[in-house]
Amino acid sequence: MVESMRRKLFLFFFFGTLSILCLFLLRFPAQAGALAANGLTLWFSKMIPALFPFMILSGLFLSTGFSNLLARLAAPVLQPVFQTTEACLFCILTGFFCGFPMGARVCAQSLQQKKISRREASWLLAFINNIGPVYFSGYVLTLFPVRTPLTVWLGMYLLPFLYGMVLRYTLYRDLPTQSVRRVFVPASVRSQANTPASPTGTPLSSARLLSALHESILSAMNGIAQLGGYMVFFNLLNLFPTVFLAAYPTFIRTLSPLLEITNGLSMLLPSERLWAYIVLPFGGLCCIAQTASCIHKTGLSLKPYIFHKLILTLLTAVWYLVLPV
């Protein structure tokens, strides 16, 4: 009964918001067009260059088995810290170095390919889905330069790293310490002789490599197009504070990063950089929606992800109170 009531309230709020948004699109076409254009521009100029190549490569690494090789290279550093499987180590590497939402995307792909368990994916999702270093250095630090860059770098990446380590030995201490799973290889591929082998021992023919590249590119194109749609939609939601809070520009700027982080950060003043660095781990509602699209049909719950994001945001706020930027 309670669950049914919650669902009805959610649907009422969701479709009510969409109805009001449609009215705003008709009433304020110029503002809506500018917001949509800005979302598309940011997607094309920032998101595609920063994420699309990593989407292709990560899919290719997973499908050919080279993800295991990368994990083994990083194992001397990461394995003593996390005591986890090679597949999990690859997800950690991708999440931290390739940037949001690659952490969620690779978790979902690894889970669907049965390289990690659902519980392992839940643990990984709690801390690896972060803003990427390329985006952070090229966009955020350009907008909000600081006197001590090391402070914000550690706040952005050391905190989630330590948070994941704490979770590993508390809530997720039951996770396995070594991988015993094998990647399924079709018989037609196993039967091929005298062909190069992947790090998993799977024969790799040129046809298989080209097929894997083709599938990775198609998957990446679908993924990056979805992210662009989310950026446009959540940029349009800025119509609400623009209309209802026109007399409070400071409040509008404060709310904007909570809707869509890229455009929201561009609206903040340089003097508001502390707020910018605090909300980065949360990523805004747009990032949450993008994460939901990445883990769709995997059985993973979005609620724990949001909870851990809020915890990391609070920890980040404490970090910058102790070490001001």
Q: Please report the pLDDT score of residue 1 as a whole number.
A: 67
State the CB neighbour count (10 A cutoff) for residue 5.
9
What gap in Å lies between CA 109 and CA 295, rounded to an integer? 9
Q: Is 170 exposed, middle or buried (0-12, 13-18, 19+ CB in 10 A)?
A: exposed
Listed as own residue / partner, the contacts of 22-31 with beta carbons closer than 8 Å and 24 or more positions apart are 24/239, 24/240, 24/243, 25/236, 25/239, 28/239, 28/242, 28/243, 31/239, 31/242
Q: Please report the pLDDT score of residue 2 as a whole number.
A: 62
What gap in Å lies between CA 143 and CA 136, rounded to an integer? 10
State the CB neighbour count (10 A cutoff) for residue 48.
16
What gap in Å lies between CA 14 and CA 274, rounded to an integer? 32
Q: Please report the pLDDT score of residue 304 as a whole number.
A: 92
Given a contact cutoff of 8 angstroms between Cβ atoms, the answer to whether 162 and 312 are in contact is no
- Ranges of residues in the chain with a pLDDT under 70 are 1-3, 10, 178-205, 207, 245-248
pLDDT, one tens digit per residue, over 263-311 is: 888 888 888 899 999 999 998 888 888 888 888 888 888 999 999 999 9
CA atoms within 13 A on the CB side of 255: 16
**What angle separates helix 86-98 from helix 48-64, to the nearest 10 degrees?**
170
298: its two tokens:
């995997």
Q: Please report the pLDDT score of residue 184 as a whole number.
A: 38
Q: Please report the pLDDT score of residue 171 as a whole number.
A: 92
Q: Please report the pLDDT score of residue 205 as a whole number.
A: 60
Q: Please report the pLDDT score of residue 151 as a whole number.
A: 92
Predicted model pTM:
0.77
Q: Please report the pLDDT score of residue 247 as a whole number.
A: 66
Which residues, listed in sequence order, are joined to residue 197 by a DSSP beta bridge? 203
